[in-house]
């Protein structure tokens, strides 16, 4: 641990020393629904509806005659019987792309107050704030109903809008799939001026209720509130609420489904359990409100670091999705009934901006979400390898020793990370020269082995005039303001701090310049960035965050944009890294906080987890939830951030981490050092082997990232997404497929486990990746695999071709000229297919066709390699559809000498009579084993091995197998 000399740093050291005592999650630091005024009053509507006699509880909202806004868009004035003088508008649009995506917006109009609702969430979350609309939708209206027909001709989609009371139903083939306001829970609070005289007379406790403006009409079912409606005090903080109550609620019903997924980020099962009713798993709704939470619970609906208001509903015959574009504090209740799943959403502020994704299968939901928010761009190839991090590597010698020790232990490494102690007094950008006297020398030493470094840049800026970042931001007037208009100040790692307002466009070009090598002179192009604490985390703020009445650019309150805040910081940092080089290189920026659309800017991780068995077991479901919501480049701190895991647990953490898209080991400053090379055998060997396996399979991971960059498909694919008709797999969230590779992985998460069960949906043979043991085709079977500490379940689905690079070097960039191995697991039909995507791994030449994309096909008689190109209908905005051209493709020419060094074919029924490549017979061997792909009993697979076939990765070729 460092020795600090200043009083401030001494205080921080004392704080750190107390961390093991004080950092256990304090649930009392974070609000529950009953402690938030908007949630109390809006959630209570559902209780009244539940208890009301049939036919007595109806929505107060009705529609007047529609008008056409433009082709594909219609508008209805909305009347509320609660306040007939208050005006709302409903606008419905049918998007041109996505096979029938519908957008529903409701906002208050013509308010007599100076207030307006926050309506810019789409600006930050979507690729286009106003996506193009279809020209083929049509509407039929009567006095009580309007029906819109839309989508492809074979989809038979329609939207039925009931005028009074308001209800909107999405149907396919006349069957309802999404119902808005089925339970009449939609309510949008209108702007009003506080009646100060009445307020002074209402000396009510937190639990007492008062009817807002309840003079002529009983509005209590929808308008009950408490004294906190216009000003709210929680613990020692007071929220001034200058606009008064502005929350809204909505109910969404999904008929005919039993499973809903999404709403990341929560430490909860993938298939979301109930928060209400007799089968409630939780007593609180799922909360979407980005917070800095220490040692979070392994199973809880509490807020975590990110918020994506996306939900999938799934059954064996259809899938649908909803994206609720709201960035304010939001609570969501889930309740499974016999006829479907009902959800209730309550948000503190904003407009209703709801997108209905029609599916009809998970694959289409991923593509539709990608059309709206964009796919994950290809990251730098090296960032998909192994990252080593700790709070903190103490100095330059420590960094270089870690780097050297990995080499001595023959363990590959691509990235070494620096936490907050690298910076003088936590002034990010300013190196502490006492411990890092020559940062460029250190970075260059690491980079000489093909490696990179990452340094943390947090959003809190030390408030001292001698710090250039603070003085610049103050002079530019781009700091977040308090409600009184003065710059907001709070406490974080730097001590007294301010925060840059990245909603202010004047901050953007300035922030980009901060990363210019002429300004940040002690950085190099081998240094990348980590954005932590960007929820934002404010140690002395309410819920360890920023007051909700703080002011951002445009006059918007922090309550309106809270969940977007971290994404704005992430976005600008990523763009700064792109701008710092010419030609531009792909950025790598890790963020802790995220929102819908954050995947466009880089990776995230699941925050301050614990090195415990229950946290290890829960990470898979969390990451699967992130993946189906577009946040595919995600991972968890391997080993757990807090605690000192046993050797067994640490090995199991590494096995799990090696199959996360983002693979990083990280640990708290008070934990014991646990770099892999520190352990004795066999533990060191187990960890070394799993890290090396990650490097061998990097082609599989890069294939998966490439597929995701085209159409938004998950990298970690849950069972229901791969087999959407197998109901037995819908709730499985402890195993998954790696992209479209056919690799099925399951982490071992039980202490002392010597065997592990894996569920198989399809009637295909599966092969043990390590031993080539064959498990015969049988749908809906559960395999029991032996899993001593040295191994874990990793299976190859029959019909798959797995590319790998078996020669592991010190870092992944050093492997670029190494040959490939193809492992072919034949299907029960004796066939298989796969792919290999390659580019330079760092630049943007691939957008101009500078890539190699090969499809491999085995039909039982021949194995062929052919060029592959993206579909012209791909949702990717940055990958060219230019087909591979060996004459004008610099990337292909650079690796034209790279060969396939070995081909292994598993499951053949008979030994080949001959094998020919361009008329020549290569060297090959065949082992009959005891089983093949048509076997009915388990056994060692037959194995054909073709050595040095002489074919390369850039050309078309065919191997004939007679």
Active site residues: 532, 535, 608
CA dist., res. 932 & res. 910, Å (int): 9
> Tokens at residue 936, please?
């009915």
Angle at the Cα of 688 from the Cα atoms of 527 and 443, rounded to 5 degrees: 15
Q: What are phi and psi of 489, to 5 degrees?
A: -125, 140
Q: Which residues pair with 225 in a beta bridge?
A: 210
Q: Please check whether residue 494 is in contact with residue 461, taking contact to mean a CB–CB distance below 8 angstroms.
A: yes
CA dist., res. 585 & res. 582, Å (int): 8
Q: Give CA 954 to chain center in angstroms.
A: 33
In three-state secondary structure terms, 241 is: coil
Positive or negative, the CA dihedral 191, 196, 202, 207 is: positive
CA dist., res. 234 & res. 242, Å (int): 16
Angle between helices 683-696 and 698-711 (to 10 degrees): 50
In the numeric block, the tokens 């190196």 are attached to 431
| CA dist 251 → 254, 282, 354, 858 (Å) | 10, 19, 12, 50
Q: What are phi and psi of 779, to 5 degrees?
A: -65, 150
How many Cα atoms sit within 13 Å of 900 on the Cβ side?
30
Q: Give CA 788 to chain center in angstroms.
A: 32
Concatenated DSSP letters of 148-162: EEES-TTT-EEEEEE
CA dist., res. 482 & res. 498, Å (int): 11
CA dist., res. 793 & res. 787, Å (int): 7
CA dist., res. 555 & res. 114, Å (int): 12
> Tokens at residue 934, please?
């048509």
Positive or negative, the CA dihedral 587, 591, 594, 599 is: positive
Q: Please check whether residue 264 is in contact with residue 629, taking contact to mean a CB–CB distance below 8 angstroms.
A: yes
Q: Please check whether residue 288 is in contact with residue 307, taking contact to mean a CB–CB distance below 8 angstroms.
A: yes
Q: Give CA 499 to chain center in angstroms.
A: 25
In the numeric block, the tokens 């709801």 are attached to 354
SS3 content of the chain, % helix, strand, coil (to 5): 25, 30, 50
CA dist., res. 536 & res. 591, Å (int): 11
Contacts of 459 (CB under 8 A, 6+ apart): 499, 500, 531, 533, 534, 536, 569
In three-state secondary structure terms, 694 is: helix
CA dist., res. 528 & res. 383, Å (int): 10
Report the side by side order of strands in the sheet with 460-462. 460-462, 495-499, 490-492
> Tokens at residue 514, please?
């901060």
> Tokens at residue 133, please?
């609309």
Angle at the Cα of 941 from the Cα atoms of 936 and 943, rounded to 5 degrees: 140
Q: What is the C-alpha radius of gyration for the chain, rounded to an integer number of angstroms?
A: 29
Q: Is 913 exposed, middle or buried (0-12, 13-18, 19+ CB in 10 A)?
A: exposed
CA dist., res. 661 & res. 701, Å (int): 7
- 113-139 as b/e, with b when 16 or more CB fall inside 10 Å? eebbbbbbbbebbbbeeebebbeebeb
In three-state secondary structure terms, 576 is: helix
């Amino acid at each position: 641990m460092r020795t600090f000399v200043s009083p401030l740093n001494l205080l921080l050291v004392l704080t750190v020393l107390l961390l093991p005592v004080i950092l256990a999650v304090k649930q009392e630091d974070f609000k529950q629904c009953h402690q938030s005024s908007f949630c109390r009053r809006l959630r209570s509507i559902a209780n009244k509806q539940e208890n009301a006699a049939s036919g007595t509880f109806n929505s107060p909202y009705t529609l007047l005659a529609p008008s056409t806004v433009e082709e594909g868009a219609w508008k209805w004035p909305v009347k509320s019987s609660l306040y007939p003088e208050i005006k709302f508008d409903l606008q419905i649009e049918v998007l041109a792309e996505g096979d029938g995506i519908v957008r529903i917006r409701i906002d208050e109009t013509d308010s007599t107050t100076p207030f307006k609702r926050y309506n810019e969430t789409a600006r930050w979350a979507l690729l286009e704030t106003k996506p193009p609309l279809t020209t083929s939708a049509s509407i039929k209206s009567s006095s009580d109903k309007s029906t819109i027909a839309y989508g492809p001709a074979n989809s038979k989609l329609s939207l039925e809008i009931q005028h009074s009371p308001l209800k909107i139903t999405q149907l396919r083939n006349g069957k309802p799939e999404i119902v808005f306001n089925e339970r009449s829970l939609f309510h949008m609070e209108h702007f009003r001026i506080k009646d100060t005289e009445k307020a002074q007379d209402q000396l009510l406790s937190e639990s007492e209720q008062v009817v807002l403006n309840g003079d002529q009409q009983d509005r209590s079912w929808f308008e009950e509130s408490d004294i906190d409606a216009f000003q709210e005090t929680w613990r020692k903080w007071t929220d001034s609420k200058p606009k008064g109550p502005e929350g809204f609620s909505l109910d969404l019903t999904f008929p005919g489904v039993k499973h809903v997924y999404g709403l990341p980020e929560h430490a909860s099962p993938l298939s979301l359990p109930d928060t209400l009713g007799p089968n409630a798993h939780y007593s609180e709704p799922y909360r979407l409100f980005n917070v800095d939470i220490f040692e979070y619970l392994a199973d809880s609906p509490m807020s975590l670091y990110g918020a994506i208001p996306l939900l999938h509903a799934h059954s064996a015959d259809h899938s649908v999705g909803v994206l609720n574009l709201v960035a304010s504090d939001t609570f969501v209740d889930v309740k499974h009934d016999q006829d479907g799943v009902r959800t209730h959403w309550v948000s503190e502020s904003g407009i209703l901006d709801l997108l209905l994704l029609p599916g009809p299968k998970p694959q289409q939901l991923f593509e539709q979400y990608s059309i709206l928010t964009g796919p994950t761009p290809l990251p730098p190839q090296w960032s998909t390898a192994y990252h080593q991090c700790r709070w903190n590597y103490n100095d330059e010698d420590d960094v270089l020793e870690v780097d050297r020790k990995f080499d001595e232990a023959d363990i590959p490494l691509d990235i070494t990370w620096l936490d907050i102690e690298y910076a003088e007094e936590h002034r990010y950008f300013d190196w502490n020269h006492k411990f890092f006297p020559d940062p460029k020398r250190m970075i260059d030493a690491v980079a000489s082995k093909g490696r990179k470094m990452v340094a943390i840049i947090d959003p809190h800026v030390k408030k001292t005039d001698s710090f250039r970042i603070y003085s610049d931001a103050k002079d530019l007037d781009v700091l977040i303001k308090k409600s009184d208009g003065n710059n907001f100040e709070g406490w974080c790692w730097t001590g007294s701090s301010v925060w840059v307002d990245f909603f202010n466009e004047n901050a953007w070009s300035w922030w980009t310049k901060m990363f210019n090598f002429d300004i940040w002179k002690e950085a190099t192009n081998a240094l990348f960035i980590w954005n932590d604490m960007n929820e934002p985390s404010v140690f002395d703020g309410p819920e360890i965050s920023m007051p909700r009445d703080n002011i951002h650019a445009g006059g918007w309150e922090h309550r309106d944009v809270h969940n977007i805040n971290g994404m704005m910081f992430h976005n600008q940092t990523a763009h700064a890294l792109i701008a710092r080089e010419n030609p531009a290189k792909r950025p790598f920026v890790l963020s802790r906080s995220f929102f819908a659309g954050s995947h466009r800017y880089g990776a995230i991780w699941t925050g301050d987890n614990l090195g415990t068995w229950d946290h290890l077991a829960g990470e898979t479901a969390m990451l699967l939830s992130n993946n189906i919501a577009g946040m595919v480049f995600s991972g968890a701190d391997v080993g757990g951030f807090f605690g000192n895991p046993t050797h067994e647990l640490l090995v199991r953490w590494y096995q799990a981490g090696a199959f996360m898209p983002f693979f990083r080991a990280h640990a708290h400053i008070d934990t014991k050092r646990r770099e892999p090379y520190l352990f004795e055998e066999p533990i060191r060997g187990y960890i070394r082997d799993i890290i090396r396996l990650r490097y061998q399979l990097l082609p599989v991971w890069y294939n998966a990232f490439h597929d995701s960059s085209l159409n938004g498909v998950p990298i970690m694919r849950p069972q229901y997404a791969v087999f959407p008709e197998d109901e037995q797999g819908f709730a499985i969230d402890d195993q998954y497929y790696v992209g479209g590779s056919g690799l099925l992985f399951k982490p071992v998460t039980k202490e002392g486990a010597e065997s592990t069960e894996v569920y198989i949906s399809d009637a295909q043979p599966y092969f043990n990746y390590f031993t080539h043991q064959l498990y015969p085709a049988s749908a809906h079977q559960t395999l029991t695999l032996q899993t001593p500490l040295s191994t874990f379940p990793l299976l190859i689905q029959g019909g798959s071709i797995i590319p790998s690079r078996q020669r592991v070097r010190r870092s992944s960039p050093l492997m670029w000229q190494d040959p490939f191995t193809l492992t072919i697991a034949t299907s029960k039909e004796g066939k298989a297919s796969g792919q290999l995507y390659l580019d330079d791994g760092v630049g943007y030449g691939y957008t101009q066709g500078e890539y190699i994309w090969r499809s491999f096909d085995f039909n039982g008689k021949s194995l062929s390699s052919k060029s592959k190109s993206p579909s012209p209908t791909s949702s990717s905005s940055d990958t060219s559809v230019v087909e591979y051209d060996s004459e004008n493709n610099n990337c292909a020419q650079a690796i034209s000498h790279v060969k396939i060094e070995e081909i292994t074919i598993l499951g053949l029924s008979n030994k080949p009579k001959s094998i020919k490549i361009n008329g020549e017979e290569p060297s090959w061997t065949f082992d009959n084993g005891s089983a093949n792909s048509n076997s009915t009993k388990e056994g060692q697979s037959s194995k054909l091995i073709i050595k040095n076939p002489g074919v390369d990765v850039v050309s078309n070729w065919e191997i004939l197998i007679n």
